[in-house]
Amino acid sequence: MRSDETLGTADLGLLYRTHHSWLQGWLIRRIGCRDNAADLAQDTFVRLLKSRQSSPLREPRAYLSSIARGLMIDQYRRRELERAYLESVMLLPQHEVPSEESRLMILDALERIDRMLGMLKPRVRQAFLFARLDGLTCAQIAEKLGVSRATVERDLATALQHCYRLRYVEA
Q: With a cut of 90, say whether residue 53 has pLDDT above it.
A: no
Q: In this predicted structure, what is the pLDDT of residue 7?
A: 59
At residue 5, the pLDDT reads: 42
The 3-state DSSP class for residue 44 equals helix
* pLDDT at residue 150 is higher than 90: yes
Select from 134, 82, 131 the least CA-distant residue to 111: 82
Is pLDDT larger for residue 89 or for residue 9? 89
Gap between the Cα atoms of 66 and 27, Å rounded:
11
Q: Which of 50, 154, 70 is nearest to 162 (CA)?
A: 154
The secondary structure element, H or E, covering residue 88 is: helix 60-90
pLDDT (0 to 100) of residue 55: 66
CA atoms of 111 and 115, how far apart (whole Å): 6
Question: What's the mean per-residue pLDDT of the chain?
Answer: 87
pLDDT of residue 75: 87
Confidence band for 3, pLDDT divided at 50, 70 and 90: very low
Q: Counting beta carbons within 10 angstroms of the beta carbon of residue 128, is it exposed (0 to 12), middle (13 to 18) or buried (19 or more)?
A: buried
Lowest mean pLDDT among 8-22, 28-42, 115-129: 8-22
| % of the chain at pLDDT higher than 70 | 90
The pLDDT of 97-122, averaged and rounded, is 87
Nearest CA-CA partner of 162 in 116, 130, 99:
116
Summarize the confidence of residues 3-14 as an average pLDDT: 63
Res 154: pLDDT: 97
| 8 A C-beta contact, residue 11 and residue 55 | no
- Side-chain half-sphere CA neighbours of 111 within 13 A: 15
Name the phi and psi angles at 119, rounded to 5.
-85, -15
Tell me the pTM: 0.62
Examine the pLDDT at 133 and tell me if it is beyond 70.
Answer: yes
